[in-house]
Amino acid sequence: MTWALGVLAAFAYSVFSGWGIPAQRTCWMLLVAGASVIVGRAAATGHVLAAAAALVTVLDPWAVLSSGFWLSFGIVAALMLDAGVVRARDPGGARPAAHSGRPPW
């Protein structure tokens, strides 16, 4: 239920801030991710991003001509891709040992 409060707060903030494309992306991604949790099916982050892009495009077909659309969705996709690459390199999630403050030699 707390996800609903978070989505509601995101939508309220987005409306008050001018309902720009990055704000819409955030709201739709939160709504899709929250709905997938409620339904009980984990959605892949790429699917959540694609659904948000589809919703923005359906609600405002001219949005795809905006640089804000491509920058917003592009950078989120790049961050998600980078996170996937980092996770693939370190599947165990091991963290480096704490630094003792002494030089390594």
Buried residues in 80-92 as b, exposed as e (16+ CB within 10 A): eeeeeeeeeeeee
pLDDT for 11 equals 96
pLDDT for 101 equals 57
59-96 per-position pLDDT tens digit: 999 999 999 999 999 999 999 898 887 776 766 655 55
Helix and strand totals (H; E) in the chain = 4, 0
What is the rounded CA–CA span in Å between residue 9 and residue 69?
22
23-60 per-position pLDDT tens digit: 999 999 999 999 988 898 888 889 999 999 999 999 99
Both tokens of residue 63?
């949005």
Nearest-5° Cα angle at 28, 17 to 69? 70
